[in-house]
Each structure stands twice: as C-alpha cells, then as structure tokens.
Chain A
Amino acid sequence: MSSLMKSLIIDYISRNFSIGKKTVKLNDKDLYTEDFLRGLNFSGNLSEKEFNMFEFLIKKIEVTKKLHKHYDMNTLKPVTVAHVPANVCAVFMCYCMLFYLSTQDYKFLNTFLKIKDGVLFNQNFGMNLELRIMCEEFVLHVL
C-alpha cells in the first residue's frame, strides 16, 4: 500500500510541478524555496543538507504559518516578503507525505496534517479535488 501511495504522490507532483528537472546547487547562504523543492528527488532519501533545509522550512511554516520565496540562511529570516505560490504549498505538503512514507518520521506527518486542515498557511492555497482525495486516502492509510 505504501508503495502505491508513494507512486500516487510522485505522479501528482510530477504533473503539477516540474520537479527533478532542474539541478539545484544548494549553498549555505540562500534558500530559494521553489528551486529547492524542484531539486529534491523522489526517493525520499534526503542528504543531510537537504534534510536540514526541509526541516528549516517546516519550522518556518509551523512558526509563521507562511512560506516565503527566499530565505537568508545566515540570519534564518526571509529576504523578501513574497510568499510562494499556491502550487508550491501543495507540493510542499505532498513532500511531507512522501518523506513520512520513506522515513516514518512523525514530524513530517504532523506538518502535513496541519497544512491539510488549514491550520498552517494563512493563504488559502485551494486544494483541488484530486489532491484532497489523495490526502484523505493517505490519512486513512497512515493513521
């Protein structure tokens, strides 16, 4: 079931976000949220740096309820006031599901549940029907 669920999530991300098609070089100074997410691979095996950056984004969402486009990794603060577009919020949520399935790390599951229920993200990122169904199937599968 897990592998089927993973396939569904990967398929959704691929169709809605040109992921893995761009090689993104991570640096210690800046984090461009959208580029970072595009550069992640689907296996769920994150490098230590990717894991730390993903955790950093989780912290930002949990604390500020927002995801900005660009963060300064020295100050750990957003560089611009601009938020990521709605499809990036959706993809971030999908990655939380994917990484939970790969790692069984409940921190990912917790953030996913809060995004799904609208606790996080002040902006309504308008989940479409396909994504809603997938999320509910995922919840039934893991809880």
Chain B
Amino acid sequence: MSYSNINLIVIGDRNWPGTPIYLEYLLRNGYQVKKILLCDFYESGSFRNKLEKAVHTVSPSLYKRAFSPCLEIYNPLLQELYSAFQSFFDFEVNLNLQEVNYHKYSDCIEKYKFWNFKDPNLLKILIKNKESNFLYISGGIVPKYIFEQGIRLIHVHPGYIPYTRGSDGLLWSLRIRGKLGYSCFFMNEHIDGGDLLYRHELELDDFSKYRPLISEHYEIFYRALLMGYDPHLRAKTLINTLQLNGGVLNRDKVLDKGNDEGREFFRMHPKLIKRTLLDYFK
C-alpha cells in the first residue's frame, strides 16, 4: 500500500488508547503523519492515579503489593468491556499500551515527558514545528498563548459543534440531541470553539447485551466507552475530514457554524451519567 504523507504532527499521550487508535486509522486509510510526539503527561488524572502510575512505572510488582490494583490494566471487567466495545470496529488496540509499536505509523518519533500543555518545553517544540498542523488527542487545558503563537491544533470533539460543546460530550450529545455527534476543528482559546472543518451525527451501536451491567458498574462501563468506543469514532471523524479535504487541512476549508453559539456543557454528575447510560444504551 502506498501512503500519502500529510502535514500533521500527532501529539500522542502514551497512556491513552486514543493515540494508537488514531494512528492505526490513519495508516489503514493510507496516511502517514509527519511526526509523532509521544508524550507522558504527568498532570492528567487524580493525585491517587498519578501516584499509582508513578509506582507502576518504577515497579509493577511493588505496585501490585502496595495498592489494591485499580489501574485499567488490572481491572478485568474494564478490560473485557474495553475489548468488547472495540468489536464494533475493524480492529482492536490492546490495553497494554507500553507494547505498541509506533514505528509503523511514522518514520519520525520523538519521546517526551511533559507536565501538561503549559510546559515551556512543549511550547518550544510546537514553535519549532509550527509550519505543521498538530493533532491534539489529550493532555489537558491548552493555554491561550499557544494559539497566539500561531500554532494550529486540530481536535476531534465528541459533540455536534456548536450545540454540544464542553465535557462529557458523548453523553451530553445523546442526552440533548438523541444521537452521537463528532466534530473536527482547529482549536482556539474558547472551549470547543475555533474553525470547524467537519461535523456529523450518527446512531449509537446496539449495546443491548451489555445493558445489564450498567446499574452496578456504570462507572466502569462509561470508562470503557471513553477508552474503547469513543476513540474509534473520533479517529473515523478525522479520516472523514482528511478525505473530504484531500488530505490537506487548512483554514480555507472551514465550515460555516452559523451565528448560534450553542451551549457549553460541564462534567456530568455520576447519577446523571448512570441515568443517561440506562436511557440510551439499550
């Protein structure tokens, strides 16, 4: 298969399955990215989660002795659901992310450790490569000064912009519009603002056989959706965007969002998460 090189640098979180999932879709659709910045973002997650990750990195055996293991790779139900939810798609990415071979996705891979997007070392790297577009996958809040430097970050949000902006987009989309929505855009300093490249809405797959798990295990169910289902749909949205634009993403091709600013939604309360899963995943 021949690949077309695209002017895209992936800022990939090494601990998030979305990174290999995006890259696999790009590869399978004939796109080779210019570079992968493979990053460890220290700040993501709670303090407990960070501590566990740190201990696990140093010594998995110590981690197993010291903690009641709750990192994703030690939760059997999460592992099974993560795998099951990926069965809706053409391929599955193993949860053991440290074993992913990134060299098949790009000739240029650089590994970094950053605190978050405010890390000055990250800014230096972005400025150095600013003639390229960057794919933002995760890593927390992006400070305004990054955009002021003319750095172009592309992001796929699980919501039909502008109507469902903000956190927990997958569930808010279902709750507010009755279907899933995904949008690809150039980020700016506003929450899910910026120039829109592509958006679409789609029906949810048939989750009926997993529904009995929701009442007791809704947190794990949702986590598995975010890790094993949502990243596939985000990556497909990016592919659609690239295909529509002949592999070239620039601001000449933005869509008109209209005057409606839509609404911004915030992190969903656990009780509402459970209710929403029960209402729509059937």
Q: Do A and B come from one complex?
A: yes
List the interface of chain A (C-beta within 8 A of B). 55, 58-59, 62-63, 106-107, 109-111, 113-114, 117, 119, 139, 143
Knowing A55-B263, A59-B264, A62-B266, the reply to whether A106 touches B271 (Cβ < 8 A) is: no
28 contacts between A and B (CB under 8 A): A55-B263, A58-B266, A59-B264, A59-B266, A62-B266, A62-B267, A106-B172, A106-B175, A106-B176, A107-B263, A107-B265, A109-B272, A110-B265, A110-B266, A110-B268, A110-B269, A110-B272, A111-B266, A113-B269, A113-B271, A113-B272, A114-B269, A117-B269, A119-B269, A139-B271, A143-B271, A143-B272, A143-B275
Main secondary structure of the interface of A (DSSP, over half): helix
Of chain A, the residue at the smallest CB distance from B272 is A110
How far is B191's CA from A59's CA once the two chains are assembled, in angstroms? 12
Chain A neighbourhood of B271, CB < 8 A: 113, 139, 143
Chain B neighbourhood of A55, CB < 8 A: 263
How far is B263's CA from A21's CA once the two chains are assembled, in angstroms? 31
Of chain A, the residue at the smallest CB distance from B167 is A62
**Cβ of B201 to closest chain A Cβ, rounded Å:** 18
Chain B neighbourhood of A143, CB < 8 A: 271-272, 275
**Cβ of B141 to closest chain A Cβ, rounded Å:** 11
How far is B265's CA from A114's CA once the two chains are assembled, in angstroms? 13
**Cβ of B271 to closest chain A Cβ, rounded Å:** 6
Residue from A58, A63, A114 whose CB has the most chain B CB atoms within 10 Å:
A114
**Cβ of A143 to closest chain B Cβ, rounded Å:** 5
Chain B neighbourhood of A107, CB < 8 A: 263, 265
**Cβ of B193 to closest chain A Cβ, rounded Å:** 14
**Cβ of A114 to closest chain B Cβ, rounded Å:** 5
Q: B residues 230-282 with Cβ under 8 Å of A?
A: 263-269, 271-272, 275
How far is B172's CA from A62's CA once the two chains are assembled, in angstroms? 16
**Cβ of B134 to closest chain A Cβ, rounded Å:** 26
Chain B neighbourhood of A109, CB < 8 A: 272
Of chain A, the residue at the smallest CB distance from B268 is A110
Chain A neighbourhood of B269, CB < 8 A: 110, 113-114, 117, 119
Chain B neighbourhood of A139, CB < 8 A: 271
Chain A neighbourhood of B275, CB < 8 A: 143
Chain A neighbourhood of B263, CB < 8 A: 55, 107
Chain A neighbourhood of B175, CB < 8 A: 106
**Cβ of B3 to closest chain A Cβ, rounded Å:** 43
How far is B175's CA from A24's CA once the two chains are assembled, in angstroms? 34
**Cβ of A132 to closest chain B Cβ, rounded Å:** 16
Q: Which 10 A/B pairs are nearest by Cβ-Cβ distance?
A: A113-B269, A62-B266, A106-B175, A143-B275, A114-B269, A110-B269, A110-B272, A113-B271, A143-B271, A110-B268
